[in-house]
Amino acid sequence: MSFHSRERLTVLLVHGAWHGAWCWQSVKEELTRNGLEVETVDLPSANPRGGRRGGLHDDARVVRSALDSIEGNVIAVAHSYGGLPLSEGAAGATNVAHLIYLTAFQLDIGESLWSAIGGQPTSWLQIRDDVTMPTDTRDVFFADIDEVIADASTAKLSPQSLSSFKESQTAAAWKSTPSTYIICENDNAIPVPAQEAMSARAGRTIRLASSHSPFLSRPNDIAQIITDHANPTPAGFTSSGPQPLTARMKGD
């Protein structure tokens, strides 16, 4: 699908595990300043303590409902776990012009996050029944973020259902929709080699000198990457869609 600046364009932001729409606030504000409409979702797999928590397919239905409610073209952006419900929920959605996977799981049909990490929990993942919570969030998620912001963000994290990690993806929107993968080169949550392997499924790769949460550490850069995709002919794109290329954004 091709799109043009004169058409209505909305950015849909999908958060990762344990997070919520709150994590995109700085990116959302910058995108709004850039003249783009922005929507976010709260995935039911990550609810506050005591709340009902859904699985992957519940999350995918929330993403699809959000897409169906948007008039005009959509650039859909997912972070980390959010790549799964985006890939499943956006499959067949006729208004999705581009998918952006931000150090996200860009998986295939039949794969799950659990299978992608080898079927074993990482050392920083706590599991009890169907509830998961991360430990060492400062190093794993927020290594390059101001301590005050990192602590405040950690306090906002919600338990995530284990079922959301174990349910298999039933569709893969990236097979028919152009996509970009943003590799975060200092990510301590998803190893760079794993990101690179998944990025092979995308039409375009961008490398960012960031830890796992650039929506907090480098929101302006993330907003600029998204805004570039909203231009009629952003770098690396032609009228027939995205062309393979590698771009790199280094820190100061």
Q: Mean pLDDT, consecutive 10-residue segments, the chain of 252 residues? A: 58 98 98 96 87 93 98 97 98 97 98 96 94 95 96 96 98 98 98 98 97 98 95 46 40 42
Distance CA 30, CA 180 (A): 20
In a domain, 96, yes or no: yes
Report the half-sphere exposure of 14 (CA within 13 A, side-chain side). Answer: 37
In a domain, 238, yes or no: yes
> Nearest-CA neighbor of 195 among 131, 157, 205?
205
Q: Total domain count for the chain?
A: 1
What is the DSSP secondary structure assignment for residue 70, as one 8-state letter?
-
User: Other C-beta atoms within 10 Å of 152: how many?
Assistant: 14
Reported as type and span, the H/E element at residue 58 is: helix 56-68
Task: Read off the tokens for 91.
Answer: 């499959």
- For residue 244, the model assigns a pLDDT of 33
User: Other C-beta atoms within 10 Å of 197: how many?
Assistant: 12
Distance CA 98, CA 90 (A): 10
Total residue length of the chain = 252
Is 134 within 8 Å of 18 (Cβ atoms)?
yes
- For residue 232, the model assigns a pLDDT of 54
In a domain, 167, yes or no: yes
Distance CA 99, CA 32 (A): 19
Q: pTM here? A: 0.91
DSSP SS3 for 86:
helix
Q: What are the phi and psi torsion angles at 16 (to 5°)?
A: -95, -170
DSSP SS3 for 78:
strand
Task: Read off the tokens for 19.
Answer: 């997070």
In a domain, 82, yes or no: yes
In a domain, 3, yes or no: no
In a domain, 4, yes or no: no
Q: Rounded to a whole number, what is the distance in angstroms from the first to the last CA of the chain?
A: 35
- CATH number of the domain that residue 48 is part of: 3.40.50.1820
- What are 133's strand-pairing partners? 126
In a domain, 213, yes or no: yes
- For residue 48, the model assigns a pLDDT of 73
Report the half-sphere exposure of 133 (CA within 13 A, side-chain side). Answer: 12
In a domain, 39, yes or no: yes
What is the DSSP secondary structure assignment for residue 180, as one 8-state letter?
E
Structural domain range at position 190: 9-113+120-249
